[in-house]
Amino acid sequence: MTDVTTADRTAGPESEVVELCRDLIRIDTSNYGDDPGPGEAAAAAYVVDRLREVGLDPQTYESRPGRVSVAVRLEGADRTRPALAVHGHLDVVPAFAEDWSVDPFAAEVRDGCIWGRGAVDMKDMDAMILANIRHLARTGTKPPRDIVFVFFADEEAGGVHGSIFMVEEHPEVFEGVTEAVSEVGGYSITVPDATTGDAKRVYLLQTAEKGICWMLLHARGRAGHGSVPNDENAVVRLAAAITAISAHPWPREYIASVRTLLDGVAEITGTPYADDDAEALLAQLGGAQAFVRGTLQDTANVTMTRAGYKHNVIPQTATAAVDARFLPGHEDDLMATIRRLAGEHVEIEVLHRDVSLDSPFSGPLVEAMIAALRAEDPDAEVLPYCLSGGTDNKALSRLGITGYGFAPLRLPADLDFAPMFHGIDERVPLESLEFGARVLQRFLATC
């Protein structure tokens, strides 16, 4: 573990960000849902220890046993200004060692990268945040305004026991906060520059998020013997609903952040596109194209099914899980469409619902993010984009806080980064982590 007593007290945050990231990855914080393992509390304790080492007094908030979030506020030079929240989550989605090339919780360094679950989502950013808090505390540096740093539990299961709990039960933590910065945005993709013929890095600053609706489809029917014809078979009714939802052609709509991104990439690469045919342009986005494709329309994907208990018994119920994501302003239309497609014999149970977000790609905070990136990578372009998934910014929006995704990483052109979110063999380059720590330091000094 990083030891502040033996480190150069004036060394920048990049000097320890790699080891902090490796330490965090080695703590298995897999989130399986409502029943927490020991990892989230252990990771929170690690963060608390690292903050206390530099003289800070972080507070912990336990929504239920094992679900621990950590918060600390650093006083700014101008306390009359609205405060900023900088936040991450400490939990990760599960990883199964047999699927990976390395132990997913060993934080092995190979080929210039840290490998492990959370290297991308989002212990890389957690380490950048933690390294920067420690640097501010060690050097006695005040940020321009108050900054509330939070490490949430439970983001990967919707945040009910993390950010939502904090917003509902401890809103005082966010007193005076009007803006927030968190995960996913800020990483680079590389596209061909039609003007120079060279490769150009484009950083994707997240300004929007699709809304979330996790639901169960419950098909009802008549139970019976497997050898007897049955025209009220719940499994068949569920299959028909799944097929209809899967085959539905959701109409495209390009919201402002998506339109600005596509127009910007089209201008750089010289690749034209039409609203009904953006394939050539999307191909220029490399691994990020899957995220971008998910923001061109609403989506609804079946992720789990459950039915029956014996080969020769027709069950009277069958269930499927659906992960639906909607663009800003589309929630009611999406739900009406799902109900119509599911049919009269299928009931819909909503398990978790959360809002879409759409923030402006303008203003002093955005300008500070762009300036911090360009200070480290002067020739880069910065464009907005919409996240097809979701972040804890959704919960903070309940308090009127405007959120952005800004986890800055300068990535090699050949690293297929975006597909590693929740994927196998997650890894982040050491140089990218150090770059991100420096960019975040510049941002926190000017925000």
The closest of 226, 235, 180 to 398, measured between CA atoms, is 180
Q: Which CATH architecture fits 211-247+300-351?
A: 2-Layer Sandwich (3.30)
Residue 2: predicted pLDDT: 43
What sections of 3-62 are H helices per DSSP?
Answer: 17-26, 39-53
Residue 1: predicted pLDDT: 42
Task: Tell whether the model's pLDDT for residue 7 goes beyond 60.
Answer: no
Average pLDDT, integer, range 300-326: 96
Is residue 61 within 8 Å of 170, Cβ to Cβ?
Answer: yes
Task: Tell whether the model's pLDDT for residue 36 goes beyond 90.
Answer: no
Q: Range(s) for CATH 3.30.70.360 in the chain?
A: 211-247+300-351
CB neighbours of 243 closer than 8 A, spacing ≥ 6?
A: none
**Beta strands per DSSP E along 131-210:** 147-152, 177-182, 187-192, 199-209
pLDDT tens digits, residue range 292-304? 999 999 999 999 9
417 phi and psi angles, rounded to 5 deg: -80, -55
Average pLDDT, integer, range 380-400: 94
Higher pLDDT among residues 35 and 401, named by residue? 401
pLDDT tens digits, residue range 238-273? 999 999 999 999 999 999 999 999 999 999 999 999
Arithmetic mean of pLDDT over the chain? 94
Task: Tell whether the model's pLDDT for residue 3 goes beyond 60.
Answer: no
Task: Tell whether the model's pLDDT for residue 288 goes beyond 90.
Answer: no
Average pLDDT, integer, range 362-371: 97
- Kindly indicate whether the domain formed by 13-184+390-446 is annotated with CATH number 2.40.400.10: no
**Global confidence as pTM:** 0.92
Alpha-carbon distance of 18 to 1, in angstroms, equals: 11
Q: Range(s) for CATH 3.40.630.10 in the chain?
A: 13-184+390-446
Task: Tell whether the model's pLDDT for residue 58 goes beyond 60.
Answer: yes
Residue 5: predicted pLDDT: 42
Task: Tell whether the model's pLDDT for residue 14 goes beyond 60.
Answer: yes
Residues in the chain, overall count: 447
Is residue 428 within 8 Å of 107, Cβ to Cβ?
Answer: no
DSSP string, 69-112: EEEEEEPPS-TTSPEEEEEEE--B----GGGSSS-TTS--EETT
